[in-house]
């Protein structure tokens, strides 16, 4: 597990100082100096901070804040590139305007030397690469922030692709995460508008996600699960995983020689059918989502190869999504109600699909939903851009502070990516027409006799379990009451305004009584001619009359300022 500890004391901060200064320098460079000043970092880290230049780069001034954040992440290296890529899939954690920009982050870094490959093999298997493989190319096929891929041949002659994790990457990630956690804690403490986005939660979610991504055994499991889904589908191929030479830091899979789905000229030269490839690719992704509920969450062109006979091959299962049956049905209800332009049902479906702290005002929400439908649906179905429709739907949800769970967003993003890839191959590709059979199948599945019988049995089982458990829970409750271990705690909400009004009323009444008492007392003193006298009038009475007048005017002004007498 990644070891992430809070940087709360100076000793730990000093240990991270070199990296901390580098991060702050880059953030200042891209115009985030105002944000860092609001964090009040100086009181936590003083040594060497004065050496950081606060001069902004001129080019950063002309860019949007999301663009500057992307460029800063690119310069800060592997951990921050991964952070940006993962955040681009989390609309529940960051504003919508940042998602598109962070999606552009490219995970390309210089390869590490082959001597480091030897070190990784030795640490995982205790042998040299020559003992593990028949041959292993020293030049990598591809290099990324977490690892790089080499071509190899196993002892039994199988051609494989081997992904080796970058040495020391775990320690680099841990240091960066600790600094991120410190900055996030300061953000929640000092910047109110950022605290809503819960930066500490973002860092912790990122750490959990990254933990899965740097464990290659999880990716291997994802590949095997996907392969089982399509055992009987001839036009889908998932590379084989070689478990004997796979660990958490080394992944060995079948080597695939194919054509990237975006290389149109090569597809044409090979005599492959672009329309058929598009249709099969759509069926592959939609089947994963709607039939199986487990899908490749990053089906961009670099991860989709085309093999002879128009066979589709998926690579790189480092990011996968899971949606249960109920979520799939809720999503189908949403799409169905949007396509049929039923704003009330669409609003309810979106509320059911998301989570929120405060439900939006339904009339306003339905009106915005109707406006959203009007922008997208009054055109031929084949002209509807499904990816743009989903993006605007996400923006609508965000405007009402509805948070879309990450796996649902990954599903939406996968469908959007599928549409963009499909239109590269076939400009006439109709996403809605291809999705319609899957949507219809999900809708009809609810009415299958086996499904209804299963739901009834499940409900009966839960009811029986409740009836069996309820007497025992009741006895436990009675025992707690008897032993005085139970307390009744009441919380009231919304009474603060009423209590404040009551306080105001009682204060005014008390003030009025005091004024009346002063007037009556003053009148008695004047009538009694209590000395000292001025022009035959008691001075004490005059003073008390004046005090009553001032207090009365004060009370009147206070009432008039509230706008109510």
Tens digits of residue pLDDT in 457-492: 888 888 888 888 888 888 888 888 788 777 766 666
Which CATH number do you get for residue 141?
A: 3.30.200.20
Helices (H), 230-310: 264-269, 274-286
Same domain, 34 and 61: yes
**Helix axes of 78-87 and 65-76: crossing angle, nearest 10 degrees:** 140
Residue 191 to residue 43: CA distance in whole angstroms: 16
Is 371 catalytic? The answer is no
pLDDT at 519 over 50: yes
First-to-last C-alpha distance (Å) of the chain: 67
Summarize pLDDT for 304-354 with one digit per residue, the tens: 999 999 999 999 888 888 888 888 888 888 888 887 888 888 889 888 888
Phi, psi at residue 149, to the nearest 5°? -110, 135
pLDDT reported for residue 490: 66
pLDDT at 26 over 70: yes
Q: Is residue 73 part of a domain?
A: yes
Same domain, 357 and 398: yes
pLDDT at 57 over 50: no
Residue 39 to residue 189: CA distance in whole angstroms: 8
pLDDT reported for residue 472: 86
Q: Which of 83-97, 445-459, 503-517, 535-549 has the lowest mean pLDDT?
A: 83-97
Same domain, 195 and 229: no
Mean pLDDT along residues 238-249: 95
pLDDT reported for residue 14: 52
H-helix or E-strand containing 421? helix 406-425
pLDDT at 555 over 80: no
Same domain, 51 and 27: yes
Count the domains in the chain: 5
pLDDT reported for residue 195: 63
Same domain, 83 and 45: yes
pLDDT reported for residue 488: 66
Same domain, 41 and 102: yes
pLDDT at 43 over 80: no
Same domain, 248 and 381: no
- Contact, 103 vs 116, CB < 8 A? no
pLDDT at 49 over 60: no
pLDDT at 1 over 70: no
Half-sphere exposure of 136 (CA within 13 A, CB side): 20
Preceding amide of 118 cis, omega within 30: no
Same domain, 99 and 118: no
Question: Any residues with CB less than 8 A from the CB of 61 and at least 6 apart, and which?
Answer: 31
- Quick one: DSSP state of residue 287? I
Number of neighbours of residue 504 by Cβ within 10 angstroms: 12
What band does 203 get if pLDDT is binned at 50, 70 and 90?
A: confident
What band does 92 get if pLDDT is binned at 50, 70 and 90?
A: low
pLDDT reported for residue 140: 93
Same domain, 144 and 180: no
What band does 44 get if pLDDT is binned at 50, 70 and 90?
A: low
pLDDT reported for residue 119: 93
Q: Which contacts qualify for 340-344: CB closer than 8 Å, 24 or more apart?
A: 341/373, 341/377, 343/367, 343/369, 343/370, 343/373
Q: Is residue 518 part of a domain?
A: yes
Mean pLDDT along residues 56-75: 76
pLDDT at 9 over 50: no
pLDDT reported for residue 280: 92
What band does 11 get if pLDDT is binned at 50, 70 and 90?
A: very low
pLDDT reported for residue 161: 95
Q: What are the structure tokens assigned to 357, written together?
A: 């702290």
CA–CA distances in Å: residue 417 to residues 298, 411, 460, 532: 8, 10, 42, 95
Same domain, 82 and 204: yes
For the ranges 8-22, 100-114, 276-290, 431-445, the one whose mean pLDDT is highest? 276-290
Same domain, 38 and 77: yes
Q: Is residue 268 part of a domain?
A: no
pLDDT reported for residue 117: 94
Domain that holds residue 20: 10-108+175-211
Higher pLDDT, 9 or 78: 78
Q: Is residue 306 part of a domain?
A: no
What band does 494 get if pLDDT is binned at 50, 70 and 90?
A: low
Q: What are the structure tokens assigned to 294, written together?
A: 């487990």
3-state secondary structure of 165: strand
Q: Is residue 295 part of a domain?
A: no
Same domain, 514 and 477: no
Percent residues over pLDDT 70 in the chain: 87
What band does 12 get if pLDDT is binned at 50, 70 and 90?
A: low
Q: Is residue 291 part of a domain?
A: no
Higher pLDDT, 242 or 440: 242
Q: Is residue 301 part of a domain?
A: no
pLDDT reported for residue 105: 80
CA–CA distances in Å: residue 374 to residues 267, 338, 346, 384, 385: 39, 10, 13, 12, 14
Average pLDDT, the chain: 82
pLDDT reported for residue 254: 95
pLDDT reported for residue 3: 57
Active-site residue, selected from the candidate residues 298, 316, 333, 407: 298
Residue 323 to residue 326: CA distance in whole angstroms: 8
Report the greatest alpha carbon distance in the chain: 125
Q: Is residue 342 part of a domain?
A: yes
pLDDT at 61 over 70: no
pLDDT reported for residue 380: 66
Q: Which of 55-69, 154-168, 248-262 has the lowest mean pLDDT?
A: 55-69
Q: Which contacts qualify for 97-103: CB closer than 8 Å, 24 or more apart?
A: 97/64, 97/66, 98/66, 98/69, 100/66, 100/391, 101/64, 101/66, 101/67, 101/69, 101/70, 102/66, 102/69, 102/70, 102/73
Summarize pLDDT for 353-407 with one digit per residue, the tens: 888 878 888 889 888 888 888 887 766 666 677 777 777 888 888 888 887 887 8
pLDDT reported for residue 255: 95
């Amino acid at each position: 597990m990644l070891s992430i500890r809070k940087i709360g004391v100076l000793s730990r901060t000093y240990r991270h100082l070199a990296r901390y200064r580098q991060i702050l320098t880059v953030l200042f460079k891209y115009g985030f100096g105002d944000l860092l000043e609001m964090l009040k970092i100086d009181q936590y880290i003083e040594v060497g901070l004065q050496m950081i230049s606060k001069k902004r780069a001129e080019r950063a001034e002309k860019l949007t804040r999301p663009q500057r954040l992307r460029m800063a992440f690119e310069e800060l290296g592997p951990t921050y590139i991964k952070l940006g890529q993962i955040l681009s899939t989390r609309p529940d954690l960051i504003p919508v305007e940042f998602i598109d920009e962070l999606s552009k982050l490219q995970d390309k870094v210089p390869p590490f030397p082959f001597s480091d490959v030897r070190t990784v093999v030795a640490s995982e298997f205790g042998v040299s690469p020559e003992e593990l493989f028949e041959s292993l190319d020293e030049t990598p096929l591809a290099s990324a922030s977490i690892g790089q891929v080499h071509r190899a041949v196993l002892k039994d002659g199988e051609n494989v692709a081997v992904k080796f994790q970058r040495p020391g990457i775990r320690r680099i990630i841990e240091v960066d995460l600790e600094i991120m956690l410190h900055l996030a804690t300061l953000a929640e403490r000092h910047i109110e508008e950022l605290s809503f986005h819960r930066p500490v939660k973002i860092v912790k979610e990122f750490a959990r996600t990254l933990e899965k991504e740097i464990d290659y055994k999880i990716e291997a499991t994802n590949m095997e699960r996907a392969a089982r889904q399509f055992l009987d589908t001839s036009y889908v191929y998932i590379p084989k995983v070689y478990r004997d030479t796979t660990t958490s830091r080394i992944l060995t899979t079948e080597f695939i020689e194919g054509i990237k789905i975006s290389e149109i000229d090569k597809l044409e030269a090979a005599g492959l059918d672009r329309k058929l490839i598009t249709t099969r690719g759509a069926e592959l992704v939609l089947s994963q989502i709607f039939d199986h509920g487990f899908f490749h969450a990053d089906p961009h062109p670099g991860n989709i190869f085309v093999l002879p006979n128009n066979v589709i091959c998926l690579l790189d299962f480092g990011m996968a999504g899971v949606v249960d049956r109920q979520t799939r049905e809720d999503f189908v209800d949403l799409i169905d109600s949007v396509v049929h332009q039923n704003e009330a049902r669409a609003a309810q479906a979106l509320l059911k699909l998301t989570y929120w702290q405060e439900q939006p005002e339904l009339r306003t929400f339905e009106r915005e939903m109707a406006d959203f439908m009007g922008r997208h649906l009054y055109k031929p179905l084949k002209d509807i851009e499904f990816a743009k429709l989903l993006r605007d739907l996400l923006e609508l949800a965000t405007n009402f502070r509805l948070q879309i769970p990450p796996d649902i967003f990954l599903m939406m993003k996968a469908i959007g990516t599928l549409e963009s890839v499909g239109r590269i191959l076939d400009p006439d590709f109709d996403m809605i027409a291809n999705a319609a059979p899957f949507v219809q199948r999900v809708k009809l599945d609810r009415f299958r006799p086996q499904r209804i019988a299963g739901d009834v049995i499940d409900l009966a089982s839960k009811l029986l379990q409740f009836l069996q458990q309820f007497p025992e829970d009741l006895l436990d409750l009675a025992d707690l009451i008897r032993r005085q271990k139970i307390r009744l705690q009441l919380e009231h909400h919304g009474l603060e305004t009423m209590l404040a009004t009551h306080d105001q009323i009682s204060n005014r009444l008390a003030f009025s009584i005091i004024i009346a008492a002063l007037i009556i007392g003053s009148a008695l003193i004047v009538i009694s001619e209590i000395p000292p006298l001025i022009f035959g009038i008691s001075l004490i009475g005059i003073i008390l009359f004046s005090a009553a007048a001032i207090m009365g005017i004060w009370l009147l002004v206070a009432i008039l300022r509230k706008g109510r007498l």
